[in-house]
């Protein structure tokens, strides 16, 4: 993986979660203390909210948006990766929204490794496992719920940045377009941008 692709993956994951508070359906530095602007207690409280609300609820979506805002400010992507991996694995049954969150968090963590020049230390094997894990989780999420917005949008961004993924990105965007009429409350401006340029920004 090259630096530009990894960076794009990181940015894509961050952008994916910005509208999370509007999604009422679907929806290392890893262990170091975040900057003072985002306390560990803040993150603990948000993680508690995410653990205690159903993934399809508006409360989960609001907590998810706030959590990723805090993670982005603190650059504590390792924590987000660990948290969403654990949350997804602890679910009584596989959940599309949680799998999409885990896949996006893995992508963000990969980007963080590259941005902080730690990818060589992590090694190609670890990076490869994270990459293949993200793809597998996006696929599993869509097997569970083919109309899951988080999975479709996140996977479309991922494929837009992956060499050779553009054709599949178009398929994912076409699927998203079929949901517009029935789900007008979703952040379609972000989808429009992705359709226009193939990138999230």
Q: Which residues, in sequence order, are CB contacts of 67 under 8 Å at separation 6+? A: 17, 43, 46, 47, 49, 50, 80
Domain residue extents for the chain? 3-151
Mean pLDDT of the chain: 82
Residue 180's SS3 state is: coil
Dihedral (CA of 102, 18, 11, 148) sign: positive
Confidence bin at 77 (pLDDT 50/70/90)? very high
Distance separating alpha carbons of residues 16 and 190, to the nearest angstrom: 9
Confidence bin at 100 (pLDDT 50/70/90)? very high
Q: Longest C-alpha distance within the chain, in Å?
A: 47
- Burial of residue 99 (CB within 10 Å: 0-12, 13-18, 19+) is buried
Confidence bin at 201 (pLDDT 50/70/90)? low
Confidence bin at 84 (pLDDT 50/70/90)? very high
> CA end-to-end span of the chain, whole Å?
20
Distance separating alpha carbons of residues 100 and 98, to the nearest angstrom: 5
Predicted structure pTM score: 0.77
Q: Tell me, rounded to whole angstroms, the distance of Cα 139 from its chain centroid.
A: 14
């Amino acid at each position: 993986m090259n630096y530009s692709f990894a960076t794009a993956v990181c940015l894509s994951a961050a952008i994916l979660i910005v509208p999370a508070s509007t999604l009422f359906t679907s929806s290392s530095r890893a262990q170091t203390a975040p900057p003072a602007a985002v306390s560990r207690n803040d993150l603990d409280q948000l993680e508690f909210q995410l653990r205690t609300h159903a993934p399809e609820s508006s409360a989960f979506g609001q907590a998810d948006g706030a959590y990723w805002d805090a993670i982005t400010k603190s650059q504590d992507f390792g924590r987000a990766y660990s948290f969403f991996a654990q949350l997804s694995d602890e679910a009584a049954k596989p959940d599309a929204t949680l799998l999409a969150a885990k896949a996006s968090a893995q992508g963000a963590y990969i980007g963080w490794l590259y941005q902080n020049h730690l990818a060589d230390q992590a090694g190609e094997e670890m990076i490869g496992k994270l990459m293949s894990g993200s793809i597998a989780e996006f696929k599993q999420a869509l097997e569970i719920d083919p109309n899951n917005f988080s999975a479709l949008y996140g996977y479309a961004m991922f494929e837009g940045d992956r060499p050779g993924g553009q054709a599949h990105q178009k398929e994912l965007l076409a699927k998203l377009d079929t949901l517009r009429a029935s789900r007008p409350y979703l952040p379609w401006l972000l989808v429009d941008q992705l359709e226009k340029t193939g990138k999230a920004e």
